[in-house]
């Protein structure tokens, strides 16, 4: 803590009124003006063995349909460059609450929004949010995945302007936006001071881009509360690191200094504990425990969703159970509800017609599917490919042009560029095998095979192809993308990646297996393993010894295949 704050607030025990008005001197729209209610949940507290449990009802912020994002935009949109721009650009998953908040803000303030969307599975509320975003003063641009977005429009994720239009970064997290959460921390301190709740030992809050948790940790400290922030990650570990939060604390502190509040800039933020235990199957995907937690708060009359808030509440439930078993008494915990109000918003009748065609097709495809594809078990690590590729994509020099046009390529699943990459990978993986003259021949059977897979697997396969293709720069410092490297360099690059025990290794092994699969589907490859061709019904069945001839000696690899 800084030794002396303006209000003389130094120790929590003093319980002086926190300096809420300090921040109110900075430009803001005046949203989230009234403190949101604290809802005590005595029966649930008793059930869990907690002394006190409450919910900070940030779903009730005004205007619009509320949510914590309102607090960020309150400060962000009142400051340049966003303040003066007729149009903003932002980005989020198709069911993004952030894009809903930006759309509502654009509507209210008479601006336009260019929304870059990427796919996420259709859990509760996703379509409602998409419908609202599509109904507003928005133009929608669809990218099949976070990876595709990072590769095609890295500026949306990293730049402050694109062609002169200011970008609201993912999750709306910027230093000025975090002021909204600093103010929220002060607001809570005021409520503690007025006796609306006991000083909580912990606040549980969802962690996406991090702005909420970081702003709160700073605001609670300025407000003189000792509350520890338990930030429950809704995104993969690679996207929710301590380093990232530390950078945000630093950015916020620099900003406070710039706007003439050095006494606040020097306040040491409250401790933030990052809890990774609830990410489950990955960002944008519900988990069993998040759905359970949504149900638990529904009984208290509070509507959560399973992607952010359900996971944060699930972590609280688990920690309470652990404390109960260890006989650790807990005085007071607070759950910070970040989601907007669940009631339906006004949407335009024809909102679906406003979606980009590729998104319409994908929605129809998924909505038409039964539960069958959901039963397909996939390794958890695959879900991480998206996250890692987003990072690689955002930092890579993006080189999407200059692929041969391949006039004879007519893939259902793979673009000509992807077919070219698969061919280039085959040349490296199968360097000593006889290869077809036209390398993209390997992509032909793969195209048929992959097109029939469930959507999530297909998008992971596209992701891994591009991750390895573009990864040559961020991962090993090559200037060229994988397919433009000389064969020897390509071999060395893949050799480097194959033994890795992380997502990148998974992607490299996935690509290797894919091209091997494509290769052995080609009749020209059959001879090398002694396979004489697929059986046709009226062909005499081979006798057993023929089969025995096809079995390779133990430890022998297919010709041309390399060990890791």
Ligand X SMILES: *Cc1c(COP(=O)(O)O)cnc(C)c1O
Taking the least distance from each CB to ligand X, the nearer of 54 and 215 is 215
Residue nearer to ligand X on the CB measure, 39 or 173: 173
Give 234 or 441: the residue with its C-beta nearer to ligand X: 234
Whether 185 and 219 have beta carbons less than 8 Å apart is answered as yes
Measured from the CB atom, is 302 or 461 closer to ligand X? 302
Coil, helix or strand at residue 7: coil
90 forms part of the interface with ligand X (CB under 6 A): no
Report the b/e string of 466-498 with b at 16+ CB within 10 A. Answer: bbbbbbbbbbeebeebbbbbeeebbbebbeebb
Compute the radius of gyration of the chain from its Cα atoms.
Answer: 27
Nearer to ligand X, 141 or 168 (CB): 168
Q: Map the footprint of ligand X across residues 67-86, applying CB under 6 A.
A: 69
Report whether 290 contacts 280 (CB < 8 A).
Answer: yes
Find the shortest distance in angstroms from Cβ 54 to ligand X: 18
Q: 517: burial class by Cβ within 10 Å (0-12, 13-18, 19+)?
A: middle
Site string for ligand X, 94-133 (x = CB under 6 A): ---xx-----------------------------------
Q: By CB under 6 A, which span of 193-201, 209-217, 281-289, 486-494 interacts with ligand X?
A: 209-217
Spell out, one character per residue from 400 to 429, where the chain touches ligand X: x when CB under 6 A holds, - when not.
------------------------------
How many chain residues are in contact with ligand X, going by CB under 6 A?
Answer: 17
Q: What strands, in cross-sheet order, belong to the sheet with 112-118?
A: 138-143, 112-118, 87-93, 165-168, 161-162
Q: Which is nearer to ligand X, 31 or 308 (CB)?
A: 308
* Residue among 306 and 386 whose Cβ is closer to ligand X: 306
Rounded to the nearest whole angstrom, what is the least distance from the CB of residue 79 to ligand X in the complex? 17
Rule CB under 6 A: which of 306-365 touch ligand X?
Answer: 308-309, 338-339
- 167-186 residues in contact with ligand X (CB under 6 A) are 171, 173
Cα angle for residues 196, 197, 201 (degrees, 5° grid): 155
Helix (H) or strand (E) holding 104: helix 97-109
Among 39, 209, 278, 472, binds ligand X (CB under 6 A): 209
Contacting range for ligand X; rule: CB under 6 A; set: 50-58, 110-118, 204-212, 496-504: 204-212
Q: Can you tell me the distance from the alpha carbon of 390 to that of 248, in angstroms, rounded to the nearest whole number?
A: 19
Q: Which of 103, 212, 253, 289 binds ligand X (CB under 6 A)?
A: 212
* β 272-275/228-233 pair status: parallel
Using the rule CB under 6 A, which residue among 19, 64, 121, 208 binds ligand X?
A: 208
Q: Min. distance of Cβ 531 from ligand X in angstroms?
A: 53
* Contact in structure between 141 and 356 (CB atoms under 8 Å): yes
Cβ closest to ligand X, residue 207 vs residue 396? 207
- Tell the burial category of 539 from Cβ atoms under 10 Å away from its Cβ (0-12, 13-18, 19+): exposed
Sign of CA dihedral 322, 328, 329, 331: negative
Least CB distance to ligand X at residue 255 (A):
16
Q: Please state the φ and ψ torsions of residue 412, each to the nearest 5 degrees.
A: -85, -35
Q: How far is the CB of 467 from ligand X (least distance, A)?
A: 24
Residue 323: which residues within 8 A CB-CB, separation 6 or more?
A: 49, 50, 329, 330
Query: What minimum distance in Å lies between the beta carbon of 206 and ligand X?
Result: 4
Smallest CA-to-CA distance from 1 within 272, 274, 265, 258 is with 265
Contact partners, residue 221, CB within 8 Å, separation at least 6: 1, 185, 267, 268, 269, 270
Q: Among residues 125, 200, 211, 411, which is the contact residue for ligand X, using CB under 6 A?
A: 211
Using CB under 6 A as the criterion, which residues of the chain lie in contact with ligand X when the complex forms? 69, 97-98, 171, 173, 206-213, 308-309, 338-339
């Amino acid at each position: 803590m800084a030794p002396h704050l303006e209000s003389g607030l130094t120790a929590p025990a003093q319980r002086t009124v926190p300096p809420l008005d300090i921040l109110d001197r900075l430009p803001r729209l005046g949203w989230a003006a009234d403190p949101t209610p604290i809802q005590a949940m005595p029966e649930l507290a008793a059930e869990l063995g907690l002394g006190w449990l409450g919910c900070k009802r940030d779903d009730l912020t005004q205007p619009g349909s509320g949510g914590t994002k309102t607090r960020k935009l309150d400060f962000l949109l009142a400051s340049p460059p966003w303040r003066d721009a007729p149009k903003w650009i932002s980005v989020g998953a198709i069911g993004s609450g952030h894009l809903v908040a930006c759309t509502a803000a654009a509507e209210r303030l008479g601006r336009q929004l260019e929304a870059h969307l990427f796919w996420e599975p259709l859990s509760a509320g996703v379509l409602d949010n998409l419908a609202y975003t599509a109904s507003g003063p928005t133009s929608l641009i669809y990218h099949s995945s976070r990876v595709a977005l990072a590769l095609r429009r890295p500026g949306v994720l990293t730049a402050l302007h694109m062609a002169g239009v200011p970008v609201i970064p993912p999750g709306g997290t910027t230093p000025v936006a975090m002021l909204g959460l600093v103010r929220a921390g002060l607001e809570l301190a005021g409520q503690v001071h007025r006796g609306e709740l006991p000083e909580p030992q912990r606040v549980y809050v969802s962690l996406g881009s991090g702005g909420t948790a970081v702003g709160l940790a700073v605001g609670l400290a300025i407000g003189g509360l000792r509350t520890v922030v338990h930030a429950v990650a809704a995104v993969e570990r690679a996207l929710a690191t301590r380093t990232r939060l530390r950078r945000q604390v630093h950015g916020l502190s620099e900003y406070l200094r710039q706007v003439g509040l050095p006494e606040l800039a020097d306040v040491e933020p409250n401790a933030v504990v990052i809890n990774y235990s609830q990410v489950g199957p990955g960002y944008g995907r519900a988990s069993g425990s998040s759905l359970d937690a949504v149900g638990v708060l529904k009984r208290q009359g509070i509507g959560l969703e399973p992607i952010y808030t359900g996971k944060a509440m699930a972590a609280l439930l688990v920690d309470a159970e652990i404390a109960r078993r260890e006989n650790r008494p807990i005085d007071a915990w607070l759950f910070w509800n970040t989601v907007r109000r669940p009631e339906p918003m006004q949407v335009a009748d024809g909102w679906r017609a406003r979606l980009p065609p590729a998104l319409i097709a994908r929605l129809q495809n998924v909505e038409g599917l039964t539960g069958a594809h959901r039963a397909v078990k996939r390794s958890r690590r695959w879900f991480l490919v998206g996250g890692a590729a987003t990072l690689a994509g955002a930092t890579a020099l993006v080189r999407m042009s200059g692929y041969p046009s391949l006039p004879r390529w007519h893939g259902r699943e793979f673009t000509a560029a992807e077919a070219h990459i698969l061919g280039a990978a085959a040349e490296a993986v199968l360097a000593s095998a006889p290869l077809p003259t036209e390398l993209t021949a390997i992509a032909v059977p793969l195209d048929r095979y992959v097109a029939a897979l469930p959507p999530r697997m297909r998008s992971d396969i596209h992701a891994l192809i591009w991750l390895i293709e573009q990864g040559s720069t961020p991962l090993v410092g090559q200037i060229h993308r994988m397919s433009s490297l000389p064969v020897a360099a390509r071999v060395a690059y893949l050799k480097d990646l194959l033994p890795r025990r992380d997502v990148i290794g998974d992607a490299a092994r996935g690509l290797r297996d894919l091209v091997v699969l494509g290769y052995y589907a080609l009749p020209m490859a059959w001879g090398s393993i002694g396979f004489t061709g697929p059986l046709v019904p009226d062909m005499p069945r081979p006798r057993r010894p023929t089969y025995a001839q096809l079995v390779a000696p133990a430890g022998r690899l297919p010709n041309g295949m390399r060990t890791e």
